Structure 1
Amino acid sequence: MLRLIATSLCLRCQCAAALPLHIRTCATLIPAENQQTVEALYDLSVDIQKVRKLNGWVLHQSQAYTKEVADLLKDLGASGPVIARILTVHPEAVLCQPEQMQTQKELWMSVCPKQKDLVGIIENFPASFFTSSSHHDNQRNNITFFQSLNLNKRIITKLMASAPQSFSRPVEQNEVMVRTLQQSYQDLGGEEANMKIWLQKLLSQNPYVLLKPPEVLRENLLFLRDKGFSTAELLHLLSKLRGFVTELNPDSMRRTLAYSQDTICCSEAELRHIVLNCPALLYYPDDILAERFKGLLSAGISMSQIKETPTVLELTTQIVNYRIQRLRVHRYDVRTGSLEVLNGTKKDFEMSYGKLQLRSERPIFNPVAPLKVDD
């Protein structure tokens, strides 16, 4: 019996010895949490459990600068709860070296001098602020370039916050895309005096336009020209669609236009008129358009009404049905009335609805009714 036990133990030892070194030691390769980091974050009221769940690796780093990050944010005017939110969402910030953070602060304040505004940006876009030090030269060069275009500082700040990739890459790439946009605008008859405002709106509405290849814009404009759109109409689309024209491609537009023409049963000239009134039609996929056409027709809206007010296609079926139900309360029938009342943002609709409500509640004056006069 003793011999069997001894043999069993020897076999276990042999098996353990036969295991590769990296398997036997894997449990010791994962370092323990840095308790100084954990305690510092806890003192700042950071949600440690959330950090462990989403970015637990940060807590295992041997070097962290939690106090330095908190001090920098406090110096900018951030409150305790704001600091806690920033570090809960983006705990990687504590891994940024103090010199790196100071450089970022100086770069950002060159376009966003108000500390209160900068704190708001960091709260909403922490990853854009706490970025790699290897990008500082590119950031600085890109800031200089966009300032040379006389763009509003607010626009440059928005670009840096919402599309940081465009500032972390070499400035030459952004210069090529901006020149392509400017040249396209001028070639289509855009006035030099209005170009800066047009470019600002484009970059503000779609900051990621800078990351698109310049060839995409040229190909899309060429495709639309082949479809019969005039130079003035192309300028209208470029201004209306802003940067979204670079999100499209000839194949997707071809499918969308073909589907729309077949569904609406219109000529190519009529289709161009519809697109000019509703440029967004160009970038809706077939399945989205099919669902919206079906929803509108199911509500009793005719195809002729849709042709007259194509912007109603920008609304989801759910929003259309909700607004129709609210309008019915005040006896407004979209089947016989204008669809304009359905259009617009939630704020636009509420304004139109309010006017309709007042109109329906206003007492009707009867010119032949006897007047009540005190004796």
Structure 2
Amino acid sequence: MLRLIATSLCLRCQRVPALPLNLRPCATLSSTENQQTVEDLYGLSVDIQKIRQLKGWVLHQSPAYTKEVAGLLNDMGASGSLVARILTDHPEAVLCLPEQMQTQRELWTSVCPNQRELVGIIEKFPASFFTSCSHHDNQRNNIAYFLSLNLNKRIVTKLMASAPQSFSRPVERNELMVRTLQQVYQELGGEEDNMKIWLQKLLSQNPFVLLKPPEVLRRNLLFLKDKGFSTAELLRLLSKLRGFVTELNPDSMQLTLSYSQETMGCSEAELRDIVLNCPAVLYYPEAILAERFKGLLSAGISMSQIIKTPTVLELTTQIVTYRIQRLRAHGYDVRTGSLQVLNGTKKDFEASCGKLKLRRERPLFNPVAPLRADD
């Protein structure tokens, strides 16, 4: 977090982000904008004003390779409007050396050969593609390692896009974490035949698990074991948490569990069942849980209903309030009915509302249908 400095000069300095000089050590910073860069960006219909507001320092760098970046993206199938969007959101791309960009293209196409798919990934994660040239060897080694695990290439591509830090570091660190995950999976009774699928799902749903120290995983699992969870339950929990167990620590989990148990008035065994059904009880801070309990109770929902369907705690108070109002409009009272109808994605909820509406509008009998008479 930026420190607050009183002087106006330092406040002005805070608005200028630190320059990623590791992108191109030979780059020079000028007090005036690089007019060639500005003209080239204008020619590509890039939003210059947005760049000046958010990343104006890029326009002061020299040399820049705007036309080369655009040419690379065009060659991969990107339209002119898409190129403009990418450079507006990530103007630092123009500071990458052409040979550096070409190397990146070769590395990424080794796991994502479809050029148009790759362009779509670059649009969403431009900083992952236009990265430092000093990491190419690590990227290459990590790609080879993850492919050696027989992981789907799409999963490896997703890892590179969403967690590029795990590919820029030495491969040995990823090997250690993956080995730990595999060992824990087997120790908890996971089947060897399913381990690849389990690992693939875990990494795709939470790629940042790779960036955590292996001892964090073991320490958290030991804490949960001391809380009475069986090995089978720990495996189930680790799979449901999708790696979030590495984001936690025993102190925060203890606080959250103590608060939840006291608030719901349940036994330790009941609390374990609640956690297995709703891992949010483990990783949501006490303040968030307090707000959600308050919102549910103020809507007339009983604590026994929450204990029976704890997954409603995963929904924000605003979503719960909106869904309760929608259900009430269709004649459904959550105070007396199941809370399960509140759960699910927006699509799931709309489908449930549709069924309630249909049930409410369907007549008890069809008055125009011919009556059947006895023969």
Q: When the two structures are superposed, what TM-score results if normalisation uses the length of structure 1?
A: 0.89
Post-superposition Cα deviations, 1:76-126, rounded to whole Å, max 9, x if no partner, equal: 000000000111111111111111111000000000000000000111111
In the aligned structure 1, how far is the partner of 2:214 from the partner of 2:61?
A: 42
Matching of residue 131 in structure 1 with residue 126 in structure 2: no
* More divergent stretch after superposition (146-155 vs 275-284): 275-284
Q: Which residue of 2 aligns with 1:355?
A: 355
Q: Which residue of 2 aligns with 1:15?
A: none
Q: Which residue of 2 aligns with 1:141?
A: 141
Q: Which residue of 2 aligns with 1:191?
A: 191
1:62 positional shift: 2.2
Q: Which residue of 2 aligns with 1:212?
A: 212
Q: Which residue of 2 aligns with 1:10?
A: none
SS at match of 2:252: helix
Q: Which residue of 2 aligns with 1:164?
A: 164
Q: Which residue of 1 aligns with 2:16?
A: none
In the aligned structure 2, how far is the partner of 1:77 from the partner of 1:289?
A: 47
Q: Which residue of 2 aligns with 1:46?
A: 46
**Matches for 1:186-265 after TM superposition, within 5 Å:** 186-265=186-265
Contact 2:330 2:353 survives alignment (8 Å): no
Letter in structure 1 aligned against 2:146 = F
1:68 positional shift: 0.9
Q: Which residue of 1 aligns with 2:122?
A: 122
Change (3 A) 1:370 1:83: closer
In the aligned structure 2, how far is the partner of 1:76 from the partner of 1:371?
A: 62
In the aligned structure 1, how far is the partner of 2:242 from the partner of 2:34?
A: 48
Matching of residue 266 in structure 1 with residue 246 in structure 2: no
Post-superposition Cα deviations, 1:42-69, rounded to whole Å, max 9, x if no partner, equal: 1111111111221212112221111111
In the aligned structure 2, how far is the partner of 1:277 from the partner of 1:84?
A: 45
In the aligned structure 2, how far is the partner of 1:370 from the partner of 1:170?
A: 76
Letter in structure 2 aligned against 1:195 = M
**Matches for 1:89-104 after TM superposition, within 5 Å:** 89-104=89-104
In the aligned structure 1, how far is the partner of 2:370 from the partner of 2:199?
A: 64
1:73 positional shift: 0.5
- Measured on the aligned residues, the alpha-carbon RMSD in Å equals 1.5
1:143 positional shift: 0.2
In the aligned structure 1, how far is the partner of 2:276 from the partner of 2:369?
A: 54
In the aligned structure 2, how far is the partner of 1:330 from the partner of 1:99?
A: 61
Letter in structure 2 aligned against 1:266 = C
Query: For structure 1, which runs of at least 5 residues remain unmatched after alignment?
Result: 1-28
In the aligned structure 1, how far is the partner of 2:317 from the partner of 2:329?
A: 19
SS at match of 1:252: helix
1:258 positional shift: 0.5
1:370 positional shift: 11
Q: Which residue of 2 aligns with 1:180?
A: 180
Larger helix proportion of the pair: 1
SS at match of 2:242: helix
Q: When the two structures are superposed, what TM-score results if normalisation uses the length of structure 2?
A: 0.89
Q: Which residue of 2 aligns with 1:335?
A: 335
Post-superposition Cα deviations, 1:229-267, rounded to whole Å, max 9, x if no partner, equal: 011111110111111111111011101111111111111
Size of the alignment, in residue pairs?
343
SS at match of 1:54: helix
In the aligned structure 1, how far is the partner of 2:322 from the partner of 2:73?
A: 44
Letter in structure 1 aligned against 2:72 = L
Letter in structure 1 aligned against 2:243 = G
1:32 positional shift: 2.1
Which structure has the larger Rg?
Answer: 1
Contact 2:34 2:61 survives alignment (8 Å): yes
Post-superposition Cα deviations, 1:317-354, rounded to whole Å, max 9, x if no partner, equal: 11111111011111111111111100111111111111
In the aligned structure 1, how far is the partner of 2:149 from the partner of 2:105?
A: 23
In the aligned structure 2, how far is the partner of 1:85 from the partner of 1:371?
A: 60
Change (3 A) 1:166 1:372: closer
Change (3 A) 1:57 1:331: same
Q: Which residue of 2 aligns with 1:35?
A: 35
Q: Which residue of 1 aligns with 2:279?
A: 279
In the aligned structure 2, how far is the partner of 1:36 from the partner of 1:130?
A: 21
Q: Which residue of 1 aligns with 2:11?
A: none
1:30 positional shift: 4.3
* More divergent stretch after superposition (107-116 vs 52-61): 52-61
1:31 positional shift: 3.2
Which 4+ stretches in 1 moved above 4 angstroms? 369-373
Change (3 A) 1:132 1:360: same
Query: For structure 2, which runs of at least 5 residues remain unmatched after alignment?
Result: 1-28
SS at match of 1:363: coil
1:365 positional shift: 2.7
Letter in structure 2 aligned against 1:314 = E
1:372 positional shift: 7.2
Contact 2:30 2:61 survives alignment (8 Å): no
Q: Which residue of 1 aligns with 2:8?
A: none
SS at match of 1:311: helix
Post-superposition Cα deviations, 1:118-155, rounded to whole Å, max 9, x if no partner, equal: 00011111111011110000000000000000001111
Q: Which residue of 1 aligns with 2:18?
A: none
SS at match of 1:31: coil
Post-superposition Cα deviations, 1:212-235, rounded to whole Å, max 9, x if no partner, equal: 111110011000000000111111
Letter in structure 1 aligned against 2:320 = V
SS at match of 1:204: helix
In the aligned structure 1, how far is the partner of 2:245 from the partner of 2:89?
A: 33
